[in-house]
Amino acid sequence: MSCQRAFSWHPVTFKKASGCHLSQKTLGWHDSILNYVILPTLINIKFAETAMSILHFFLAILVILIWGCNFIFIKWGLQEMSPFLLCAARFLLASIPIIFFIKPPQGQLRMIALYGLITFAMQFSFLFLGMHVGMTPGLASLLMQLQVFFSIFFAAIMIKEIPHPLQILGSVVSFSGLVFVALHLNNEITLAGFLLVISAAASWGLGNLISKKMGRVNVLSVIAWGSFFAFIPMMFISFIFDGPKTITQSLQHLSWIGIISACYISYAATWVAYSAWNSLLIRYPVATVAPFTLLVPIVGMVSSMLVFDEPLQSWKLIAAILVITGVFINLVGMRIIKFIIKKYALES
């Protein structure tokens, strides 16, 4: 049997699959998040119909690292620009000059404009405002994962999609983690920041329905033109609330950290990550790629702890485990059940 380049993860060992008998390396991970969040996520890869190559596996990990660290750069950007101005700068850089080289999908301009206003303008203005008035980067990365359940909620209301019992269970588990966060509001994590970030997750969830209605379109075109449609209202709002004087002063006094942050948010987290992610979705089933997103809040919380000394109290760990476990149930619960049933049937 030929040795295929695919990964198979086990709770305490890491080895190559498909007949490759390599030396196993025992993992000395004892942290609860690693054992009960990261490993179950990676274990799910073997349940997918198509194994992921080594190169694409590390490409997926790179995307997750970019998205997880994005909250660090947002925090840095907000130290030098207002939330509205940072939003406008992000979408300007993400759309110009790309829109001069990529045409919008034919007949979808109105839907892309709506997508840009909700998924881009609303989502990131709420997120940036929330982090500005009181939300840590680590918790923001965690709470944004609730977009999965807002998508289910809006789908049930707007297009009458009945949620599966496992989706309901996942929602209950994740929102119980939300309660842990709500019970620990303070000067660093304010009620306003909490509600604004939840609103950002809801906007993302609503935008997912618009994306579904658009059907199969050029993702890069949607990003470019959606960003352009988001830039226009965000620049207008910044002009109204910040004022020309504040905008000018902010741009004149930008440090290299502010410039790098704006470029990272616009290019790395948008163009590089989304392009790589889209290439993975083209090559593999969604079931193979989607579980990697469960690692984004882990990267977000760890990076915030390392960069900003964000304390990682026990209640944050509990909230993280509950939220990510709920998303895990929603993403892979049915596949695991089918896998177990199929395995049991074969053994019988």
Tell me the sheet residues that pair with 9: 14
Distance CA(10)–CA(34), nearest Å, equals 12
Instruction: Quote the pLDDT of residue 211.
Output: 83
DSSP 290: G
For residue range 18-74, what is the model confidence (pLDDT) as tens digits?
444 434 444 444 455 455 555 555 444 444 445 678 899 999 999 999 999 999 999
Say if 12 falls within a structural domain.
no
Question: Please, which residues have CB within 8 angstroms of residue 276's CB and are 6 or more apart in sequence?
Answer: 59, 62, 63
Residue 140, CA atoms < 13 Å, CB-side half-sphere:
35
The letter for the amino acid at 198 is I
The letter for the amino acid at 21 is H
**Prediction pTM value:** 0.80
Instruction: Quote the pLDDT of residue 166.
Output: 84
Instruction: Give the domain range for residue 143.
Output: 61-347
Contact 291, 280 (CB under 8 A): no
Residue reference for tokens 């618009």: 210
Say if 10 falls within a structural domain.
no
Q: Indicate the number of domains in the chain.
A: 1
Say if 30 falls within a structural domain.
no
Distance CA(112)–CA(227), nearest Å, equals 9
Say if 324 falls within a structural domain.
yes
8: helix, coil or strand?
A: strand
Say if 7 falls within a structural domain.
no
Say if 55 falls within a structural domain.
no
Distance CA(326)–CA(166), nearest Å, equals 9
In whole angstroms, how far apart are CA 84 and each of 20, 71, 201, 245, 261? 53, 16, 18, 14, 15
Go through the chain and tell me how many residues it has. 348
Say if 117 falls within a structural domain.
yes
Specify burial of residue 277 (Cβ count, 10 A radius: 0-12, 13-18, 19+). Answer: buried
Instruction: Kindly report the backbone phi and psi dihedral angles of residue 15, in degrees, each rounded to the nearest multiple of 5, phi listed first.
Output: -150, 165
Residues in the chain, pLDDT under 70: 1-51, 286-287, 347-348
State the average pLDDT for the chain: 83
Residue 148, CA atoms < 13 Å, CB-side half-sphere:
27
Instruction: Quote the pLDDT of residue 112.
Output: 92
Distance CA(167)–CA(161), nearest Å, equals 12
Number of Cβ within 10 Å of residue 169's Cβ equals 15
